[in-house]
Amino acid sequence: MIQIKLSQGAKPGMGGYLPGEKVTEEIAEIRKIPVGKSIQSPPQHYELWAKTPEEGIRKLLEWIKRLRKLTELPVGIKLCVGRLEEVDLLVTAMAQTGEGPDAIQIDGADGGTGAAANLFLNYVGFGGAIETLFYFHRQLQRHRIRDRVVLSLSGRIFTPAHAAVAFAFGADYIDSARGPMLALGCIQSLKCHTNQCPTGITTNNPWRMRGLDIPEKSVRVRNYLMGYHQDMMEITRAMGHTDPRDITPDDLRMFNFRSLFAFPDGDDPWGVFPLPVVEKLPQ
C-alpha cells in the first residue's frame, strides 16, 4: 500500500526535520541530498496546496486516484484531525464521487515522538485517537461507505485494554509503536532528533548505537508482542467473542467526561462533539 502522511499526532501542522549530523552516506543517497545536509520537510504536500478546505479535499481525492493508477496499489492516508468539519467534507466527497482513500490511519493529539515540541505534543489536535476514530467510523456509516475503507488507529494503544476500546469504537486493526519502542529500551529522553539517544535506538552515532543490543532487545520486543496478542485474545474471549473486531460499545463501561462511570451511549459517548451530516460538498 501507498500511504500519504498528512499529519502526525505528535506534531500536527508541522513538517519534519532531519538534522545534518544524522544524514549519513546511505541516507544521503536515498534522499538525493549531500551528506551532512539538514532536511526540512514542509507541513503540507505541494499537491494539496489550496485556498479552501473544499479545494484541498478535491485535490486529495484526485491525487489518491492518480497514485492508485500509477502504482496499481491501494492508497491510504494518515492524519491527526484538527477540525471535525474537514472530516465531514472528506467523507461527503468520498460518498459523492466514489473516490477516496482505501485506508485511513488515525493519530490522536497524544501521539508520541521525542522529536516534537512539547507545545504540540500536549495541546494541538482534536482529542484522543479513539474519539476521532469513532467520529470517522460513524460518519462513514451514515454515508453508507464504511465497508469501502479500512480504519486503523495509532496513539497510545500500548495495552490490550486500549486496543479493546479501539476495536469497540470502529477500528479494523491497530498500530502500536510506543509499546514496542519501550520494550526495545526507549527511556523517553526526548533526544530523538539530536543524534544523542542514550539507548542507541534513534541515533546512527556508532558509539551510541552499541547500546542497542539486537539479540537481547529483539527477544524483549517479541515477548511484548506475543504477550499483547495473548492478553488481547483473553480479553476478547472474556467478553464472549472470538475476534477482537467483534467487540462493541455494549461490552464496555468507561469514565465519561465528568469522570463518572458510564456506559457508552449512542452517537456521543464522551459528550464532546456533534455528528452533523454534510449533505452536499460546497462548490
- Grid cell locating 241: 467473542
Partners of 5 in beta bridges: 78
| Alpha-carbon gap, residue 185 to 221, rounded angstroms | 9
Q: Give residue 62's Cα distance to chain centre.
A: 22
Domain count, the chain: 1
Is residue 267 in some structural domain? Answer: no
Which of 25, 245, 277 lies closest to 152 in space, CA to CA?
A: 245
**DSSP class of 250:** G
Prediction pTM value: 0.82
CA-CA distance, 33 to 41, in Å (whole number)? 13
User: How does strand 261-262 pair with strand 2-5?
Assistant: unpaired
CA atoms in the 13 A half-sphere facing the CB of 68:
15
For residue 228, what is the domain's CATH number?
A: 3.20.20.70
Distance (Å, whole) CA 198 – CA 211: 8
Domain contains 75: yes
* Parent domain of 69: 2-262
The reply to whether 282 falls in a domain is: no
Q: 3-state secondary structure string, 42-86?
A: CCCCHHHCCCCHHHHHHHHHHHHHHHHHHHCCCEEEEEECCCHHH
* pLDDT number for residue 71: 95
Across the chain, which has 283 residues, the per-10-residue mean pLDDT values are: 84 75 88 88 86 92 96 94 88 95 87 67 73 90 94 87 91 89 87 85 88 92 95 95 92 66 58 52 51
Using DSSP's 3-state secondary structure scheme, residue 39 falls into strand
Q: Is 89 inside a domain boundary? A: yes
Which residues are CB-neighbours of 226 under 8 A, at least 6 positions away? none
Assess if residue 112 is contained within a domain. yes
Asked if residue 96 lies in contact with residue 63, where contact means CB atoms within 8 angstroms, the answer is no
How many whole angstroms separate alpha carbon 81 and alpha carbon 273?
Answer: 13
Look at residue 277 and tell me if it is in a domain. no
Q: Scanning the structure block, which residue is given the C-alpha cell 492508497?
A: 75
- 55 lies in some domain: yes
- In this structure, the strands spanning 17-18 and 2-5 are unpaired
Beta bridge partners of 174: 153
Tell whether 283 is covered by a domain: no
